[in-house]
Chain A
Amino acid sequence: MVAELMIGNAIVPFLFAGAFVLMALGAYHMNPSRNKISGVATGIVATVGGIFMIMNVIMFQSSSSPMGTMGPISNYMAGLGILYGLFFTMIGLILIVGAKLNVMAPIAIVVGWITLAYAVFFNMALGHIIPGGNWIYLASVAYMWFIAMNIAGFSMAGKVSERFNGGFLMWSSLYTFAIPGILMALAIGHV
């Protein structure tokens, strides 16, 4: 139980940073007739959040203290964490500079499909590697990101309505970052 508490608490700052970034990006896309300056503000939130996420993962990997490592989760989540940290940092910098986002469309789709590979892995393999581990919620988060990143990619390429993308991102912020963050921080459930 103690080990589970440490695992849960260590990843929480990472999750809340992600919730911030997604809330900002979702709200930005929900309003297509927005003020132009809001792109710079959203970009700052995404850049700071993305750099914070990368810092978190590097910190967890380089620390040798039990609190520093995320335990079994860290071994499987670090790649995914860096993937999203990098993506958010790039989106943020593009919004700050004011360049076009459409080049990020294929990158979003590739990130989404790599996340699907993680989701299949969480579903099929982790129960055997870590006996008794409950990875159902984690797998559902990864499936959700597969859908969300594909919607984001096709939206940036102009194929899906921007408001739909924004709404889905705001829902993803709640379901995939804020809710698991609260569950793990307060040790209500071990995800």
Chain B
Amino acid sequence: MSSMGTLMGIEVIIVIIGYIVAYYVYTAVLANEDIDASSDGAGIARLFKEQLK
């Protein structure tokens, strides 16, 4: 079953690489608060406020 051991090693290395990539992206996100292409901030809070006007 040495192939299974090799496989588990590969899996652990893959997940560790993933965490390293995610860490660098997270620091980039934290360093620049303006980079956000995904949400334009129309939430339920603002919608209720606009309805109550």
Chain A interface residues toward B at CB < 8 A: 29, 32, 34, 36-37, 39-40, 94-103, 105-107, 109-110, 112-114, 116-117, 120-121, 124-125, 150, 153-159, 161-162
Contacts and interface: CB of A to CB of B under 8 A. Distances in A.
A102 B35 CA distance: 8
Contacts of B17: 113
Question: Number of contact residues on B: which range applies?
Answer: 20 to 34
A157 B43 contact: no
Given A97-B45, A110-B22, A39 B39 contact: yes
Contacts of B37: 32, 155-156, 158, 161-162
A125 B23 contact: no
B14 A120 contact: yes
B47 interface: yes
B43 to A, nearest CB: 2
Interface in B24-48: 25-26, 28-29, 32, 35-47
Contacts of A110: 18-19, 22
Q: Dominant SS at the A interface?
A: helix
A154 B3 CA distance: 34
Q: Dominant SS at the B interface?
A: helix
Nearest to B20: A113
A101 to B, nearest CB: 4
A102 B38 contact: yes
Nearest to A107: B22
Contact of B26 (A32, A39, A106): A106
B4 A95 contact: no
A95 B39 CA distance: 7
B10 to A, nearest CB: 6
A99 B42 CA distance: 8
A39 B7 contact: no
A100 B45 CA distance: 14
Contacts of B46: 98
A149 to B, nearest CB: 10
A105 B37 CA distance: 11
Contacts of B19: 110, 113
